[in-house]
Amino acid sequence: MHDLIVRDGIVVDGTGAARFRGDVAVRDGRIVQVGAVSGVAKRTIDAGGCVVTPGFVDIHTHYDGQVSWDRMLAPSSINGVTSAAMGNCGVGFAPARADKHDWLIQLLEGVEDIPGTALAEGLTWDWESFPDYLDALSARDYTMDLGAHLPHAALRAYVMGDRGGDHLETPTAAEIDRMATLTGEALEAGALGFTTSRTHAHRARDGANIGTLTAGDPELLGIVAALKRADKGVIQLISDAYLTADDDFAAQELALIRRLAETSGRRLSFTVQQSDDSPDRWKSIYREIDAMVADGLPVSAQVAPRPIGAILSFASTTNPFILTPTYRTVIRGSASVAERLARLAEPGTRAAILTEHDSIRPSEGFAAIVTQGYRRMFRMTDPVDYEPQESQSIAAEAARAGADAAAYAYDTLMEDGGRRLLYMPLINYARGNLDDVHGMMTGKHVLYGLSDGGAHCGTICDGSFPTTTIGLWSKGSKSGLSASLESLVHGYTKRNAAHVGWHDRGVVAPGYLADLNVIALDDLALAPPEIVQDLPAGGARLLQQPRGYRWTVKSGVPTFENGAWTGETPGRLLRGAMAA
């Protein structure tokens, strides 16, 4: 008898091969038969009219803190993800000496917008070294499997002390050797790889640049040489190469990426997106990646399926008025979100904020867009429209109403009791459409990533990237661009899994893990995010519910049914690569 049979689904098996109608039989957590399955099972799922895919593999998340207190691990788990990699972008909570706990919390609060109060209450800190961290995780279970990278910022601070948090400080040769030794130990214990950050956007809560920002060749090449010696692990990084309009700087960063791949001999991926300042930079980066691959270097771009968009609200982290003195006073003086919203509704507070806001005009960067970019602010619809047009913007609404744009934006944000959400595409939307995103996604050497599941709790809500990838791009953008369902599923399953060495999953075929999604494709869509207060210490986050997932199955166990968690937690820590 089988444990589970998924009957009569349209199987998209993760390999990129053409879809077919069939059944999937599961026993002891693995797929044992695909096609016309006879016999009976302890449980049968009717997948008639639905697409059956492998569970999604998200290689770019930040659940490093959330794993201490949460077994469900939304938003990734509710978006069909059954395996995830965390510790990306060089940030995480291990290794960590006791005197660096608060420092790591404020670093993650700044870089990844995770409430520090939630981290302070929720982190168990039953570890010091990175192997200790993995041991602590191995005693817990979750809705999905998790693997962890060794993060450079934590490693640097562990070895260098306070100097490690200053990117202008250079480690000694002995400190580099120590970092390399600890990297080797982490890989042997089961680290997926090594990650680092080289972007000015990553700053601690106090505004300080991340300590890894300008790490030099001796440090970086010394560390990644440990991957070469171990013959294990991957490299993940973020660099400002895609943001810059400076050709020389971009070339220097890409040359460093080449050296990292050459020295380590391991697979390497890095963030590639589109900025307003350099809207075609991604194309030249792709050409450099092509050249690296032609030279035998396994280098890939990590890309996103839609704009990276800020969610603006008075009830969360970001809105156009955050730089005004009165708004900051309201934030500091409010004991709760409800109290904050009540004070913002007062006419005197509104008038003071609007007067102050009129004199605050940042000239460049994200601050200028967030505080003055009314042509890029849009009401969040249901389902969410991730390709909005300027005619739908707050600026356009204000003009039609004959109103001042700032005042109109303030009043709009006060709708729904002050909980109105506005969507502002910041990255990947330089031309007001998704044409360039399609170009990035359909490149030859790309990985689907950058969801940041578990992070950006009050500003960005991109843990739903898998749903957008499958739902939007299989149907097509407003420009008529699309991709085949088979290629999209392959990108979020077998290809991602193979990149991090998880060769036992990502395919619907006998012998593979029974990680499955049963999806009503026509219904697949995303509702607007909601602000929920379910973090430790009453911390709030944005959480977005998808529609269209009928079942998610992890290792043969149904974990979600029609969007509701079944309470099952068959997921475990994954130590390093998994053999086929």
Query: CA-CA distance, 186 to 148, in Å (whole number)?
Result: 10
Burial class, 232, CB count within 10 angstroms (exposed 0-12 / middle 13-18 / buried 19+): buried
Query: CA-CA distance, 386 to 400, in Å (whole number)?
Result: 23
Query: CA-CA distance, 40 to 25, in Å (whole number)?
Result: 9
pLDDT over 90 (residue 578): yes
Tokens of 119: 């981290």
Residue bearing tokens 């968009």: 309
pLDDT by residue (tens digit) across 20-50? Answer: 999 999 999 999 999 999 889 999 999 999 9
Tokens of 437: 């995103």
Domain ranges of the chain: 57-71+80-307+430-499, 310-422
* pLDDT mean over 443-458: 96
Residue-level pLDDT at 367: 84
pLDDT over 90 (residue 103): yes
- Degrees, nearest 5: CA angle 224-572-462: 70
* pLDDT mean over 327-346: 95
Residue bearing tokens 């910041």: 426
Looking at domain 57-71+80-307+430-499, its CATH class is alpha beta
* pLDDT mean over 565-576: 98
Contact 56, 81 (CB under 8 A): yes
* pLDDT mean over 143-168: 98
What element of type H or E holds 546? strand 546-547
pLDDT by residue (tens digit) across 417-436? Answer: 999 999 999 999 999 999 99
* pLDDT mean over 67-73: 97
Residue-level pLDDT at 177: 98
* pLDDT mean over 339-346: 97
* pLDDT mean over 145-169: 98
**Phi, psi torsion values for 400, nearest 5 degrees:** -65, -30
Residue-level pLDDT at 287: 98
pLDDT over 80 (residue 365): no
Predicted TM-score of the model (pTM): 0.97
Binned at pLDDT 50, 70 and 90, residue 366 comes out as confident
Residue-level pLDDT at 166: 98
Residue-level pLDDT at 534: 93
pLDDT over 90 (residue 317): no
pLDDT by residue (tens digit) across 490-527? Answer: 999 999 999 999 999 999 999 999 999 999 999 999 99
pLDDT over 80 (residue 364): no
Residue-level pLDDT at 303: 98
Residue-level pLDDT at 310: 93
Binned at pLDDT 50, 70 and 90, residue 15 comes out as very high
- Average pLDDT of the chain is 97
Query: CA-CA distance, 6 to 514, in Å (whole number)?
Result: 11
Local structure of 18: helix, strand or coil: coil
pLDDT by residue (tens digit) across 382-416? Answer: 999 999 999 999 999 999 999 999 999 999 999 99
Contact 311, 461 (CB under 8 A): yes
Burial class, 525, CB count within 10 angstroms (exposed 0-12 / middle 13-18 / buried 19+): middle
* pLDDT mean over 550-579: 98
* pLDDT mean over 98-121: 95
